[in-house]
Structure 1
Amino acid sequence: MRRTQPSEPGGPPGNLPQELNSFVGRAAELDDLDALLTEARLVTVVGVGGVGKSRLALRAAGRTGWRRRDGVWLVELSAVSKAELVEYTLLESLGLTDHTGRPPRTVLVEQLAERQLLLVLDGFEHLVDACAGLVRELLRRCPGLRVLATGRRPLTVEGECIVPLSPLPAPDAATLFAERAAGTLPGFTLGDDNRADVVELCRHLDGIPLAVELAAGRLGALSPAQLLARIDDRFRMLKGGSRGALPRHQTLRTAIGWSHELCSADERLLWARLSVFSGQFDLEAAEYVCGGHGLAAEDVLDVLGELLAQSVVVREDSASGVRYRILDTVRAYGAEWLEAAGDAARMRRRHRDWFMGLATWCELDWFSPRQAEVAALIESELPNLRSALEYCMTEPGEAHLGRYLAGTLWFYWVGCGRLSEGRHWLDRSIEPGGHDEDRGEYTESRLKALWVLGYVAILQGDTVAALAALTECREEAESTDNATAVAYAVHRTGCLALISDDMERAERLLREALERYRELGELNSNVLMGQVELAMSLVFQGDLAGALLLCEDVDEICRERGERWTRAYALYVLAYAAWTRGEHDSARELLRECIRIDHTFHDLVGLVLSLELLALVTASEGDPAEAAVLQGAAEPLWDSVGLPLFGSGYFSAPRALCRQQAGEVLGRERYARCVQEGQALTLDAAVERALARGPRSAPPAGTPHIAPQRSTAPETRKPAGSPTSNGGEAAG
């Protein structure tokens, strides 16, 4: 074997090229490769085109190659077009010559049998069968050989260790952009004036190093903001590259197209159809949306497996199970093919239909022990649901389905901390004009969107918008004899009265709504929430006993059904009642459970109400400083919800009492410092702090005690709104 010049002066022989620019990030991946190359004889780095497989492998090989007596040798296979030329390419790269006429594989085995070296096979994916067979035989007959391979798919050789390479995380991608940009535009640095645009640009480019470097190369003509504005035309914009770059790396389109050329007809078809998904998707969705018309649904799994093997699709584990993702850049390439095939409109409709069905199922399953799983699933599918909503809002004749979908997701908008986004879609769904030509024909979907819009606006403290939506909903529902919509409109109007401090009207409307629900046979989270809201109106009128009976009944039903979200609100009322009785330990434990549930669902309304009441309980226990911290922690949450404490005097009373009495004990300056400490806490830190502090049986010695404001409740009576009163009636 002829030895060439060492890769480094004084080092072992080899042919690794010298790096011409900086290497950014990948510290963890390099450490992993170091460890694997110590133990395994075949390591394959796989990933989508342009993700940096070759650069990582060369850097890793340079770091580990010093342990191989006979060096590190790079074999570049991307330009090799014929399988029969692979062995000759290895001979040439290794500097071996043979004029005997023997088969090249025989020469390779003979020359490498006693050597200790690392062979880097770069870009083998179009020659996978030939390379796999050769590598298998060389590893079996050359014990000192180790192979580091890079490609879009594994070699599938026994003993192979596969290292999937993901795109760069946002900070590293921005750093890479800045360093390459400085070569194009001397003096370029990341600063306050461009950092946000660069980070957003890198995000749109999926952190793919090739795409980031090509974008940086455009800075001679365009600013980061201008590049970002043109990102939808990424394949035309991102081309060029350095003169020394491999042909497949000179434009982004060519890099992705290289993978496309290696796909079978079925794989290309599925790639194009998968482009209708946004974010993650699961197998069932892919089978329904992409199956048929030339690709049987039962074949989708096998074809998807091939796209996974070629790094076109990546697998991700999530809270809702195994899911898949196609990077935006890869998806954009597939979308072009889908448009060219004339199948885009049909695929978008199928995508919309699937996620319409998913939302319908999840709404039904919300009132069950699977609430947490439903929340996680909708969170995972949110990008796809947004795409489905956008399709309905912009496609002629589809507006009624957009209203239906926006209304069906009420449990997510309200129960999982998405009030602002829910308001956006609901407002758009009912706005006049545009594609809403079907208003008269599809009143049911509009009525649902209206009462859900009223509900969301109430929680945001927007009473004007809430009243307008609920009034329209009730009037139109009564004119069309839609008893269900009337019940929901009455219910939410009662809720509006509740936060508007009109307790007598709130009680009357909520009792009416519960009666209507009973007549309809409705029992779900909304109905139980109406019972809790009725209990709140009774509490504020001094009827603690009646409120307790209502909420204990809700607690029992929720336990039986496995419902947790509504139960948290019932526990909130029970905690308030416990505080008024001076039962601080009990109140604290009830509120801790509220906070756990609300944090699980990211229900900011329930969470911030519970923190406010916990602050008052803490002050009553004799710890005004901690109470002030909790009050401070609650303040930023209201910014995310809407009007603090809905602008309600009744809901504000615990906060005002806590602030007044804790402030008297601490003094103005110390109270303000404690509040600032709470304001600085993140959401998770605030929850952790609220849950970590155990109950206190007595205040510290010498600490003034804050007494509860006891209610003057009337005689205990069974509330007519209880489903178990008067022989099981739901309302009176």
Structure 2
Amino acid sequence: MRRSNLPAELNRFVGRAAEQDQLVRLLDEFRMVTVVGVGGVGKTRLALRAAAALQKRYVDGVRLAELAALRDPGLVAHALVEALALTDHTVRSPREVLLEHLAERRLLLLVVDGFEHLVEECAGLLRELLLGCPGLTVLAAGRRSLRVDGEAVFTLAPMDEADAMELLAGRAAEAGVVAGGDAGTLRELCRRLDGIPLALELAAARLPLLTPAQLLRRLEDRFRLLDGGRRGALPRHRTLRTAIGWSHELCTPEERLLWARLSVFAGPFDLEAVEYVCAGAGLSADRVLDVLGELLAQSLVAREDTAAGPRFRMLDTVRAYGAEWLEALGDTERMRRRHRDWYVGFATWCELEWFSPRQGEVAAATDVALPNLRAALELCLESAEDASLARHLAGTLWFSWVGCGRLSEGRHWLDRAVAVPAYEPVAPHEEARLKALWVLGYVAILQGDPTAAVAALHECGERARATGNATAEAYATHRMGCLALLSDDLPRAEELIGRALDAYREIGELNSNVLMGQVELAMVRAFQGDLEGAVALCAEVREVCEERGERWTRAYALYVLAYAALTDGDPVSARELLSECVTINHAFHDLVGLVLAIELLALVTVVEGDAEEAAVLQGAAVPVWRSVGLPLFGSAHFNGSRALCARQAGEALGGAAYQAWYGEGERLSLDAAVERALAGRGDPAGRGRAGARAPRPFRAGPAPVPETRKPAGSPTGKGGEAAG
């Protein structure tokens, strides 16, 4: 995990030196500081600046959590888990995950942008985290304080005259304009805009078209028009509203319409989404690009680079203004439905493209689109009439929940979607429910919740048979077989997975799930001693994956092939296969596949003669298993390699030394553990010896599990479980 996820500054930070120093001093004294002030005054920018300056103080980093796009208070903890780049596959609540992760870390957490509508949930969660995590400091930025015990409130005033004029001139220069002329006019312009940075930036964006004097005259007209404002509004709230309203007044009818329609996006969006969602009466599709470009030029829309390519975003204050206009037009619900329809289509496209060379692109695009996907799911769940669509969307996103490390959030949406009553047992409503059920069962299995898994899969199978849905029945059977595999019931696993694969072939189903079924069957055969059969299955999977460009399932096939190579006395090939497996799973944030590969790499390493590094890798697997759930699924068969590695490394090193190296691994971050696994450290003299042969790491029956020992020689006095 990177120590910081702070965004890079896209333009020069102007002024605020005294405020930044004061904020840093407050963070010396208080563990909870909230920057408050009117919208657009620069709270978030100042908080980010202060946090960047303090990064060296926090050994475990600085993490940013943006909450403006959230509607559901139940997702606040999920958003913080995501901000901390945690992947948790267990049934633990996100609160428990946060408390455990932060308990012994020294970290600064930024909570910014629009938490006012989630204030109760935010305040309660942050209070709990601060009480349970003594090394945590929280810096928040919003329009009100959170009223958490021990909170220091820092009220950010607008810019002083000198800074305001510097900001106006600087942003004008970035737009290619020298803001010359009468200094008195510029000073008056800054004064009339109350030194609010957002208002100044909006004004600067107009300087390519209007002189400062023209701007001032238009602004004065706008002030007179809106001077009454809303009753009870603070003057500076009216000023910002006026500044944005004035910018709105200067827009063309097409620009105003697009501004209003863009307000339905809950996070970053791309051009294709805008063209679909926002085109229509008053704005033709072929005009969207040009009009969006005008809003971009006026600083009403910002462009940002993401892992999925360039995206656009509206500042929360600008977006809120547009939403008011959309409501005034009586078009909010229609636009929300168009937004939902686009993201349902987007998810459907992603599911199809997951089984293709674009798998990595799909993972990145889904990650960037997550706020909008959440908004679409929320709209679907607002009425029973749309519940079927919610089930379809939640089920379609299985690849993101399972393949990209979002089991906990997937469980949240799937549980909600399946729980909505009064569905119609006819296609496509029934089909959507069946898909949601088998995906829910799949997620619950990987979370270590067999009770929920069996309930969902049993219902799916029964209803599928009753309605003649062979596809859903095959998936339910497949996942019941997966549960049997993890429960060490190998004969039942082989029977169920084999039956599902036969059904897939009969109906012509071929995708990542089907190939994963072949890999799971290969695991069953490997555990039963049929290495030849396991290799044949995985070789076929590998070939199909190479043809289709599929990487996620390929990684699991590589794991089984590596196991076979190691058992057959070829640790060099096993390491090569596992290194690719680790790389792929880490890229997709799939901790299940990743930790399995690290466990087997530990055995490869001890076979190569480096018992110290093997102990490090075993220790490194422990915190990953805490995020995944039950270590090695509680399976004696999956535990075989770990038990054998622990025994051999312990015999080579002695108990105290083994535990010391084990403790070193346990303290590694996930990224450091991956780097260590891929470094290939081992005994150069021992690795690759022609005669080297590994003992069989897996057995047909349960492997012995060494008893848990406390580590000796660990600097922290903490240890792990010698066998998971």
After TM superposition, the score normalised by the length of structure 1 is 0.66
Give SS of 2:349's match. helix
Task: Give how far 1:237 is off.
Answer: 9.6
CA distance in 2, matches of 1:601, 1:709: 30
Task: Give how far 1:519 is off.
Answer: 0.5
Distance change >3 Å, CA 72–CA 22, structure 1 → 2: farther
**Residue matched to 2:560:** 573
**Residue matched to 1:481:** 468
1:129 is aligned to 2:209: yes
Q: Which amino acid aligns with 1:422?
A: G
1:498 is aligned to 2:485: yes
Give SS of 2:529's match. coil
**Residue matched to 2:3:** none
Residues 661 and 706 of structure 1 are in contact (CA less than 8 Å); yes or no, is this contact kept in structure 2?
no
CA distance in 2, matches of 1:54, 1:318: 36
Structure 1: segments with no counterpart, 5+ residues: 1-17, 30-49, 64-70, 82-119, 136-150, 153-234, 242-248, 714-732
Residues 75 and 121 of structure 1 are in contact (CA less than 8 Å); yes or no, is this contact kept in structure 2?
no
CA distance in 1, matches of 2:16, 2:309: 41
**Residue matched to 1:356:** 344
Distance change >3 Å, CA 301–CA 447, structure 1 → 2: same
CA distance in 1, matches of 2:437, 2:204: 58
**Residue matched to 2:241:** 253
CA distance in 2, matches of 1:237, 1:624: 71
**Residue matched to 1:639:** 626
CA distance in 1, matches of 2:544, 2:202: 63
CA distance in 1, matches of 2:231, 2:525: 65
**Residue matched to 2:333:** 345
Task: Give how far 1:454 is off.
Answer: 0.9
Q: Which amino acid aligns with 1:494?
A: G
Could you tell me which of 407, 411, 431 is aligned with 1:419? Answer: 407
CA distance in 2, matches of 1:711, 1:595: 20
Structure 2: segments with no counterpart, 5+ residues: 1-14, 22-44, 50-156, 171-179, 191-199, 220-229, 701-724
CA distance in 2, matches of 1:463, 1:378: 28
Q: Which amino acid aligns with 2:361?
A: E
Task: Give how far 1:354 is off.
Answer: 0.4
Could you tell me which of 254, 264, 269 is aligned with 1:281? Answer: 269
Q: Which amino acid aligns with 1:381?
A: A
**Residue matched to 1:66:** none
Residues 77 and 124 of structure 1 are in contact (CA less than 8 Å); yes or no, is this contact kept in structure 2?
no
Could you tell me which of 669, 672, 676 is aligned with 2:656? Answer: 669
Distance change >3 Å, CA 439–CA 674, structure 1 → 2: farther
Give SS of 2:265's match. coil
Q: Which amino acid aligns with 1:268?
A: R
**Residue matched to 2:456:** 469
Distance change >3 Å, CA 306–CA 534, structure 1 → 2: same
Q: Deviations over 1:602-652 (max 9, x none)?
A: 111111111111111112222222112112222222222222222211112
Residues 544 and 711 of structure 1 are in contact (CA less than 8 Å); yes or no, is this contact kept in structure 2?
no
Give SS of 1:651's match. coil
**Residue matched to 2:572:** 585
Distance change >3 Å, CA 564–CA 125, structure 1 → 2: closer
Residues 610 and 682 of structure 2 are in contact (CA less than 8 Å); yes or no, is this contact kept in structure 1?
no
Give SS of 1:280's match. coil
Residues 608 and 683 of structure 2 are in contact (CA less than 8 Å); yes or no, is this contact kept in structure 1?
yes
1:660 is aligned to 2:650: no
Give SS of 1:467's match. helix
Q: Which amino acid aligns with 2:380?
A: C
1:336 is aligned to 2:297: no
Higher Cα Rg: structure 1 or 2?
Answer: 1
Residues 238 and 252 of structure 1 are in contact (CA less than 8 Å); yes or no, is this contact kept in structure 2?
no
Q: Deviations over 1:263-320 (max 9, x none)?
A: 2222121111111111110001001101102211211111111110111100112222
Task: Give how far 1:75 is off.
Answer: 4.7
1:303 is aligned to 2:279: no
Higher relative contact order (Cα pairs below 8 Å, separated by 6+ residues):
2
Give SS of 1:523's match. coil
CA distance in 2, matches of 1:484, 1:495: 17
CA distance in 1, matches of 2:573, 2:546: 19
CA distance in 1, matches of 2:201, 2:451: 67
Distance change >3 Å, CA 529–CA 334, structure 1 → 2: same
Task: Give how far 1:53 is off.
Answer: 11
CA distance in 2, matches of 1:385, 1:306: 27
Task: Give how far 1:373 is off.
Answer: 0.9
Q: Deviations over 1:166-219 (max 9, x none)?
A: xxxxxxxxxxxxxxxxxxxxxxxxxxxxxxxxxxxxxxxxxxxxxxxxxxxxxx
Give SS of 2:637's match. helix
CA distance in 2, matches of 1:236, 1:645: 62
Task: Give how far 1:600 is off.
Answer: 1.4
Distance change >3 Å, CA 251–CA 484, structure 1 → 2: same
CA distance in 2, matches of 1:323, 1:673: 47
1:610 is aligned to 2:600: no
**Residue matched to 2:251:** 263
CA distance in 1, matches of 2:367, 2:261: 23
CA distance in 1, matches of 2:640, 2:699: 16
Query: How many residue pairs are counted as aligned between the two chains?
Result: 523
**Residue matched to 1:520:** 507
**Residue matched to 1:708:** 695
Give SS of 2:288's match. helix
Task: Give how far 1:327 is off.
Answer: 1.8
Q: Which amino acid aligns with 1:131?
A: T
CA distance in 2, matches of 1:263, 1:396: 39
Task: Give how far 1:668 is off.
Answer: 3.2
CA distance in 2, matches of 1:408, 1:28: 36
CA distance in 2, matches of 1:651, 1:27: 47
Distance change >3 Å, CA 439–CA 257, structure 1 → 2: farther
Q: Which amino acid aligns with 1:609?
A: L
Task: Give how far 1:684 is off.
Answer: 1.5
Q: Deviations over 1:119-162 (max 9, x none)?
A: x9994555643439999xxxxxxxxxxxxxxx99xxxxxxxxxx
Q: Which amino acid aligns with 2:412?
A: H
Residues 320 and 380 of structure 1 are in contact (CA less than 8 Å); yes or no, is this contact kept in structure 2?
yes
1:326 is aligned to 2:406: no
CA distance in 2, matches of 1:582, 1:53: 73
Task: Give how far 1:262 is off.
Answer: 2.8
Give SS of 1:397's match. helix
Distance change >3 Å, CA 699–CA 252, structure 1 → 2: farther
CA distance in 2, matches of 1:567, 1:478: 31
Task: Give how far 1:671 is off.
Answer: 2.6
Give SS of 1:301's match. helix
1:382 is aligned to 2:370: yes
Calculate the aligned-residue CA RMSD, in Å: 3.6
**Residue matched to 1:395:** 383
Residues 551 and 573 of structure 1 are in contact (CA less than 8 Å); yes or no, is this contact kept in structure 2?
yes
Distance change >3 Å, CA 19–CA 515, structure 1 → 2: closer
Distance change >3 Å, CA 608–CA 240, structure 1 → 2: farther
Residues 185 and 213 of structure 2 are in contact (CA less than 8 Å); yes or no, is this contact kept in structure 1?
no
1:292 is aligned to 2:372: no
Residues 622 and 706 of structure 1 are in contact (CA less than 8 Å); yes or no, is this contact kept in structure 2?
no
**Residue matched to 2:497:** 510
**Residue matched to 2:667:** 680
Q: Which amino acid aligns with 1:274?
A: L
CA distance in 2, matches of 1:678, 1:237: 59
Distance change >3 Å, CA 237–CA 643, structure 1 → 2: farther
Give SS of 1:281's match. coil
After TM superposition, the score normalised by the length of structure 2 is 0.66
CA distance in 1, matches of 2:203, 2:431: 57
CA distance in 2, matches of 1:57, 1:272: 29
Distance change >3 Å, CA 123–CA 432, structure 1 → 2: closer
